Amino acid sequence: MPPPGVCVNIMAARHKKSGYGSLACPERFLNQDYEQLKNFHLIRSARYIDKMFPPDIISIGQGILSPDRLAKVEWKRPGVIVPNPCFTVDGVSRFDFYQGEVGNCWFLASIGALTFQKDILQQVVPLQQTFDQDYCGLFHFRFWRFGRWMDVVIDDKLPTIDGKLIFVHSRTPNEFWPALLEKAYAKVCGSYADMNAGTPSEALVDFTGGVHMSIDLSKAPSNLWQLMFSAAQSKSLMGCGTPQGRSPNTVQENGLVDGHAYTVTGVKQVMSHGNIVSLVRLLNPWGQKEWKRDWSDLSPLWDSVSTEDRNLCLSVRDDGEFWMSIEDFCNFFRDLDICSLSPSFLDGNSSCRWRASLQDGRWVASITAGGCLNDPDSFWINPQYRVKVVDSHDECAEKQEGVSFLVSLMQKPDKRNRRLVTNLYIGFYIFEVNYKSVKGKFPASFFKTHMPVVKPEFYKNAREVMKFTKLKPGEYLIVPSTHKPNETASFILSILSTAEIHVNDEMLNLLALRYGDATQHLTLETFISTMIRMACMHSKLELMTAFTQKCHWRGVSTFLEVEVEVYVHTPLKSETPPARRGVLCH
């Protein structure tokens, strides 16, 4: 048998190849079909109740409400809460909502960023939904989750106390898209309590499937404002967070909240006293509590700028939005998350076309989990990905010093409930290689004698880690790993480049692990006999599938139909998946 998890990975790859899990054909979360459920309840004039995320205390979760308040919770539909509920009122805006009693400011800060990009918002929040025509208490939303777009179905029963929503609520009482979006994401996370605490990067990626970059503001690059401006021009979503204080949600004298997430809503340069000042505009998802120092709403520095800039930028009201200088931003905030559908903001060249490849993989203890490079004797058994970066000789390449190259590694959760997930310490290395020098998987001796061209500064226990670099055209080997050996987990490796790239299929690695010799080489005889055995198994599985339509062996048979790429004799294949995922670590 192949290593554990191989069949599942190949089944996912086959689904992806056919478009399943793409934005055009999202996967049904928990196998719930929105159209079927809607038609079923409309025909019967019934109101939908979601049995997979029921309106009870299990869906709220533990630790966010006191027992007394939890006992008072009543789940009510919007039509019971207000007389004339609407999905949206006068469109959507970053000022539409306020945070409730769960600590998910990171999620709401991401929603605030999402409202700036209406085309992306429409992908996540189907805005044609209504409480009028064809209403049956059923709504749906879409999220990108670990390589696949998911269509998430919910009922519209919302938790209330004394008739008021206890979690996110709208500035306009009869507008409910924020509360329903929050409920859908809570379902994906496992409960409302599972949304407690996080970073904007997580939700930004789940809203877009885009490229994610995290910047430590204590080590901010000198061109940070220019990078943020470029990101804003490329329709990126941005969020940031303040450092943790002695106690959560403490409001400092300067108006900022400790351990809190904010939305980056704008960047601007103004002339003040003859000098150019770079400003950043931020939004507190509480809808109040603003920065009180230089360039705040009441700062006298606004008198030093032109009337045009003052009228364009300044809005003196307690709505949670404010300006501050880029210097204060770096001093008082901990990190910045940028998420974009394209990494073009990283190299400042929006004319370059990026190529993408997404690979599903898995570390399996004692088989493909070799740990970090501290031990080359075990490191070599980690999954290996050969990448050929082709010199395109186009105008874009000529403008750059080397090829822009971005690699992201995202680990998949092993549990549904978000708060129960423990991230492993992960990282990856990139080596320059010569394909002709090694036939098969690179052995331990290679890693003892070759230095990586890219290596992690340190391994991070994050959902994602990412590296942006410049590489010359050539052949490279990417080796993702956990820090410790023998740790089992699934992952997604994303590779993006401004040049043409060819990434090998890992199938032969898996066959070599199971059927190869000590050096993980396959003889021709072994390879042929393996294919014959697999074909025989496949034919029997086809008969079993025909015998019963409910048989689930059909998915397993995809393992036997997968195309196998031989290291030496088969040309490498370029793969552009239908649903791209973004990267970087937090």
Model confidence pLDDT, tens digit, residues 200-237: 889 999 999 888 888 999 999 999 999 999 888 888 89
Model confidence pLDDT, tens digit, residues 2-28: 444 444 455 455 555 556 678 888 999
Number of other CB atoms surrounding residue 104 within 10 Å: 29
Are the C-beta atoms of residues 186 and 418 closer than 8 Å to each other?
no
Helices and strands counted in the chain (H then E): 19, 22
What whole-number distance in Å separates Cα of residue 447 and Cα of residue 429? 11
Range of the domain at 255: 211-340
Assign residue 382 the CATH number of its domain: 2.60.120.380
Residue 584: inside a domain, yes or no?
Answer: no
pLDDT at 335 over 70: yes
Model confidence pLDDT, tens digit, residues 425-465: 999 999 998 766 666 788 999 999 999 999 998 899 989 99
Model confidence pLDDT, tens digit, residues 507-563: 555 555 555 554 445 555 555 666 666 666 656 555 554 544 333 333 332 333 333
Average pLDDT over residues 174-192: 94
Residue 1: inside a domain, yes or no?
Answer: no
Length of the chain: 586
First to last CA, the chain: 37
Are residues 357 and 332 part of one domain? Answer: no
What whole-number distance in Å separates Cα of residue 321 and Cα of residue 108? 14
Are residues 258 and 187 part of one domain? Answer: no
Residue 146: inside a domain, yes or no?
Answer: yes
Are residues 507 and 478 part of one domain? Answer: yes
Please provide residue 197's backbone torsions phi and psi, each rounded to the nearest 5 degrees. 75, 135
pLDDT of residue 379: 95
Residue 582: inside a domain, yes or no?
Answer: no
- Which sequence positions are flagged as catalytic? 105, 260, 284
Residue 574: inside a domain, yes or no?
Answer: no
pLDDT of residue 154: 97
Are residues 216 and 134 part of one domain? Answer: no
Question: Which of 125, 309, 120, 278 lies closest to 208 in space, CA to CA?
Answer: 120
pLDDT of residue 538: 56
Which of 340, 362, 378 terminates a domain? The answer is 340
Are residues 411 and 362 part of one domain? Answer: yes
Are the C-beta atoms of residues 527 and 510 closer than 8 Å to each other?
no
Model confidence pLDDT, tens digit, residues 85-110: 999 998 888 888 878 888 888 888 89
pLDDT of residue 533: 64
Residue 204: inside a domain, yes or no?
Answer: no
Owner of token pair 């106690």? 247
Within 8 A by CB and 6+ apart from 449, the residues are none
Please provide residue 297's backbone torsions phi and psi, each rounded to the nearest 5 degrees. -55, -35
Within 8 A by CB and 6+ apart from 234, the residues are 340, 342, 344, 345, 350
Are residues 459 and 535 part of one domain? Answer: no
What whole-number distance in Å separates Cα of residue 543 and Cα of residue 253? 72
The rounded mean pLDDT for the chain is 81
Are residues 226 and 176 part of one domain? Answer: no
Residue with the bigger pLDDT between 535 and 78: it is 78
Are residues 130 and 67 part of one domain? Answer: yes
Task: Report the domain count for the chain.
Answer: 4
pLDDT-derived band at 178 (thresholds 50, 70, 90) equals very high
SS3 361: strand
